[in-house]
Structure 1
Amino acid sequence: MKNVETTAAPQAIGPYAQGKIIGDLLFSSGQIPLHPETGEIVGTEIKEQTLRVMENIKGILASEELSFDHIIKTTCFLSDMNDFAAFNEVYGQYLSEGKVPARSCVEVARLPKDVCVEVEFIATLNQ
């Protein structure tokens, strides 16, 4: 078992790792729209927050020499399901057609720091 640690994604704001590698799987912690360098929330609208979340995910993947094509499952949390279409618009830009992961997307009552979106993923180390 190995912790994933990178400066290309925000540092944990609690007692958890950015991700864990167990066997040939990488399990990420939920990513919210925090800027990795400043720790500040990026944006107030769903599209700009989703963009930051996806860039944070990209940073975690890159730290292990992986890409979005390695993601096999995501769980997406929205504070407002009315943002679903706008979220999908940005989220989909990061995924290769034909290689989209399995996904759950749910509305939740509240997210850390009152952000609009949080995404966690499971990726395979093998292609």
Structure 2
Amino acid sequence: MKEVIHTSNAPAAIGPYSQAIKAGGAIYVSGQLPVDPATGAFAGDTIQEQTRQSLTNIKNILAEAGTDLDHVVRVDVFMKDMNMFADMNAVYAEFFTEKCPARAAVEVARLPKDALVEIGAIAVVD
């Protein structure tokens, strides 16, 4: 069994996928672009602003599922330019401070809507 998680506090899916799926004791959050759900536009032009919005979207999706960032066990970060890693990582460290999740961070050729970053996550359910 799987449960679709959806909140208006994160951008709606722009294709045939869900914001997140709850199944088998975990919540699988789709990659989140830095879209502000209130405006439908990117939260800013810098990697810091975009990282903050992507992680805020994840936080809001997890809240809708009844959990939080403390339950995240895996994060995947896709960046347009690995030279932005330090700036992305500084913002990331504001969201994950203790018992940080496992993570991959990779540079990709292009992201949807030409975003600088897209972040996905997996959280466990208590």
TM value normalised by structure 1:
0.95
Alpha-carbon distance, 1:8 to partner: 1.1
Taking the TM superposition and a 5 Å limit, the aligned residue runs for 1:59-98 are 59-97=60-98
Taking the TM superposition and a 5 Å limit, the aligned residue runs for 1:33-52 are 33-52=34-53
2:12 aligned counterpart, secondary structure: coil
Alpha-carbon distance, 1:96 to partner: 2.8
Task: Extract structure 1 runs of 4+ deviating beyond 2 A.
Answer: none
Alpha-carbon distance, 1:70 to partner: 0.3
Match of 2:122 in 1: 122
Asked if structure 2 preserves the Cα contact closer than 8 Å seen for 1:43 and 1:49, the reply is: yes
Number of aligned residue pairs: 125
Match of 1:22 in 2: 23
Stretches of structure 2 lacking an aligned partner (at least 5 in a row): none
In 2, the alpha carbon distance for the partners of 1:40 and 1:16 equals: 20
Stretches of structure 1 lacking an aligned partner (at least 5 in a row): none
TM value normalised by structure 2:
0.96
In 1, the alpha carbon distance for the partners of 2:53 and 2:73 equals: 20
Identity %: 46
Q: Which amino acid aligns with 2:39?
A: T
Q: Which amino acid aligns with 2:72?
A: I
RMSD after superposition: 0.8
